[in-house]
A and B are shown apart, each in its own frame.
Chain A
Amino acid sequence: MIRTSARASLIAFSLLAASSFLPAEARADDELKLEWTGRIQTDLRFRVEDKSIGEFYNKLDLAPGVERNQNVFNLQLKSTFGRFRGVASVDLMLNGVTGKLDGLGDLSTYQKIQPFSFEPQALYIEGKDLIIKGLDLRIGHQIVSWGVADQFNPTNNLNADDLRDPLLFGRQQANFMVKLDYWVTKSLSLSGVLVPIFKPALLPYSAALGVGAVDRLPFTDAAFRHRIEAENATSGSAQIGFPTIVSTATPIIPPPTPENMQGAFRIAGTIADQDVSLSYYNGRTDFPQPFLNHTRQTAGVQCDPNDKTRCVKGVLQTDVSLAYPKMHVYGLNATGEVNPFKWISDKIHGIGYRVEAALIVPQRTTLQLTQDALNVAIPLPAGEYDYDNNGKPGGPQPAVVDATAFLKWTVGLDYAFGDHVYLNVQWVHGLADEFGAGDFLHEGYSVRQSGVTTTDAQTRARCVLSPQLTLIGDGTKCAREVLAPKLGDYAVIGADFKFLDDAMLLRLFTLWSMSGITIDEWSDTAQKRTQKHYGLFTSQGFSAVIFPELDYNFGNGLELGAGALIELGKDYTKFGDPAAGGSTVFTRGKFSF
């Protein structure tokens, strides 16, 4: 890590040093300017519903109550001297929600009772017109925002996402970068960015519930999934009593070697009043994918506290290792305004439009399955899973991400109606956490829920074990899946309403999952697997977020607000998912100075 970042720094500082030998263009009126700004912000949120996932032996729960009581003190310093500038910004965050205490000693530890953290948000230096006119350099901990869409930016991959706060969707975390821009003209620029160290996305606190969803198998091959689903159902059946759980999920960060550095280029300009850019990014997705599952058997009877007749003899504990697949991203952005209704009246203004599209070429990623010696339906030796069911361990490992290229895009329109109303509409194809081919252009699904439609005995006999006690390895006639496209389609519809001389703002933003879900299962009647689709306007497929907020700006830096983030849909849907955190109501206040 030290070596890599040192190398990047050397490059950057060499450029700065080189610029210092050039004829100085210091102006007589150049002087050192220091500018301090700050913000104190307080958030209080309540979760209004219980969200849980898993069975009694692996249940994870988000209870109603105070979801967040966060107080932030931000301080920012900008120091400018002519063409050069340094920026530092830090957050001191105090979280009022006390975590789990490990012992009496924690009662003597302030950090345990009043958890706080210190987060640098920016720490960089920059210079303009270095070496040659039009050449700008920025080095340090920074955010580089590319992409013209609002909040949903598939071409913006240089910084990892910061999804800890769902109210700040689209926020990213700063990272060390070297950014070089060359302005060929005042409207045409070339940019290059080097990111020496990869950073993963910061996930919402509720994401930990994701490990409870062991039925959401990540394999792209449906037949392989069906087989695993049937085998999991059998091992977890009442007779055998060893269900599978995820014990640990460990992200493995790529080592800081030169080949793991990320880079991006962009050319941006204005053509006929429309802003257009093309970009290329070579790096990694910041959302993890599993690449190694290791399973071990742990005995120990556990019974459901609410139903003592439901017991398991133990569990198959799976340790999951997660990686961040490489990808190439080719981006196109265009924004401007169009006015198709001008012929009706001169009073109709242009409608703002935004198009942001990314062609993503992912690295194929497979998942290796290994195990200790297991003794469930039949004894299984320690080693690798028999993927091709040829009686020998190993074989071609199943993919969790295919190498198939896929498209993500956001297309948006916005318009202000008179003094008081602003409307913003977007079609988002593929959210930030969705990765891999699978949409109406190329079939591919993610499993939102799975199981079997058959009884324990039927599952065992049809799909898992032959009468000779050999593995059948075919779950076709047993498995049932609730599927969603790997890349969903979402409608974002938002409106702002202003009152009281602009001091009061009522905002209503909504996010609708347009893809719905598909139930895929075996039909004894048709003697084949069948699929039935449930769209947005069905109880099975409905999923949406409704985000109303009321803010009052008192002027002179003080702002208070309250609202709700309402997540709707069944647990297997995108927004009804317990890992999404559940519905909350919130109040927040901010004073800037």
Chain B
Amino acid sequence: MTRSFRSGLLLAASALALMTHGTSARADAPGDKVLTAMDGALNRAKTQYFEYDVINQEPGKGERKLGLQVRLKGDKRFTEFTAPADMKGTKILIMSPTQMYVFLPAFGKVRRIASSVSDQGFMGMTFSQDDLASQAYNATYEAKIGSETPTEYHLVVTPKAGQTTPYAKMEITVGKEKMLPSEIKYFNAAGTNVKTETRTGYTCEGNVCVPSELKMVDNTKGGASTKMIRTKWKVNEEMSDDLFSKRALGE
């Protein structure tokens, strides 16, 4: 196997992580209601198309850039890499969490990928796959309102009993106007703030709003950061199911 084959696996892992979780739980407390409302606001679109410029920055090192095109429809996701050049043309199709494929241009071949790759990191990004996957929280977390301003809720979010989660605690700042997160602080079991994510520049199409920039700072790596800058976005456009097939991958 070559390096590009390996990279394909990692990309598939990332794409799997980008899948949304559409489940929701019944809220029974003010904090949970806010969390449920935020989940709803995060998952309103039927289809979405994104293009992202991704910039990884490690202290003392140069920038590493990636380019992504992402199509979303229900639980299905089709991702194509547009940069860097050695990854360009690599495509990942997620049909379900246990059925995903990668097309590697160097091999001209579609390869089935096992879901265990979702445990893998991705191209040095400070976003873990769980960070990217978490678009719905109330199935696994419960929330309390820590504080509140006229424009924002500050939620303290902890795992529900019996749930296995990647973080021991999160602090989420939710804007009251759109009910969408502007900042998420992630804490480990020792209570250390290991990462901080900011989502800025929300723009809306109808009632669907998404940030134009996401930034994750890893406090355990000297402030290494990843920025995902949205360069194109289409929402609720007609997307044929054929776009989410092995044929579309290039087989």
- Residues on A lying within 8 angstroms of B by beta carbon are 37-39, 136, 143, 145, 148, 150-151, 168, 181, 183, 186-187, 189, 270, 273, 275, 335-337, 346-347, 349-352, 354, 414-420, 422, 424, 494, 496, 498, 500-503, 505, 507, 509, 551, 553, 555-557, 559, 561, 590, 592-593
Contact = CB atoms under 8 A, between A and B. Distances in A.
Specify which of A270, A502, A561 lies most central, judged by the most chain B CB atoms within 10 Å of its CB.
A502
Given A150-B1, A501-B121, 10 more contacts: A145-B109, A189-B246, A336-B99, A337-B115, A418-B119, A422-B120, A555-B62, A556-B64, A556-B65, A557-B86
Contacts of B107: 145
9 contacts: A186-B247, A189-B246, A354-B112, A419-B120, A498-B120, A501-B58, A501-B121, A551-B3, A555-B124
A350 B108 contact: no
B5 to A, nearest CB: 8
Contacts of B124: 500-503, 555
Given A145-B109, A416-B9, A501-B124, A352 B88 contact: no
A509 B1 CA distance: 9
Specify which of B65, B96, B116, B246 lies most central, judged by the most chain A CB atoms within 10 Å of its CB.
B116
Contacts of A347: 164
A368 to B, nearest CB: 40
Interface residues of B, number: 49
Contact of B10 (A148, A168, A502): A502
B153 interface: no
A496 B13 CA distance: 15
B56 interface: yes
Nearest to B113: A352
Given A275-B112, A592-B86, A561 B3 contact: yes
Interface string B84-117: 1110110000001011000000011101111111
Interface string B59-78: 00011110000000000000
A593 B85 contact: yes
A497 to B, nearest CB: 11
B245 A505 contact: no
A371 to B, nearest CB: 48
Q: Is the interface of B mostly helix, strand, loop or mixed?
A: mixed
A336 B64 CA distance: 33
B116 A416 contact: yes
A346 B165 CA distance: 11
Contacts of B36: none
Contacts of B88: 37, 592
Given A150-B1, A186-B247, A561-B3, A498 B112 contact: no
Contacts of A553: 3, 86
B167 to A, nearest CB: 15
Specify which of A37, A419, A501, A556 lies most central, judged by the most chain B CB atoms within 10 Å of its CB.
A501
A273 B241 CA distance: 17
Q: Is the interface of A mostly helix, strand, loop or mixed?
A: strand
B122 interface: yes
Contacts of B122: 502
Contacts of B251: 181, 189
Specify which of B85, B114, B246, B247 lies most central, judged by the most chain A CB atoms within 10 Å of its CB.
B114
Contacts of A136: 247
A401 to B, nearest CB: 29
B7 to A, nearest CB: 8
A557 B83 CA distance: 8
Given A187-B245, A553-B3, A415 B114 contact: yes
A496 B98 CA distance: 22
B6 interface: yes
B151 interface: no
Contact of A505 (B3, B64, B109): B3
B114 A189 contact: no
Contacts of B114: 337, 349-352, 414-416
Contact of B84 (A150, A507, A557): A557
A107 to B, nearest CB: 38
Contacts of A419: 119-121
B99 A273 contact: yes
Contact of A349 (B112, B119, B244): B119
A37 to B, nearest CB: 6
B28 interface: no
Contact of B116 (A351, A509, A593): A351
Interface in B232-249: 241-242, 244-247
B247 A349 contact: no
B149 interface: no
Contact of B121 (A337, A350, A498, A559): A498
A402 B117 CA distance: 44
A415 B84 contact: no
B123 interface: yes
A168 B86 contact: no
Nearest to B114: A352
A507 B6 contact: yes
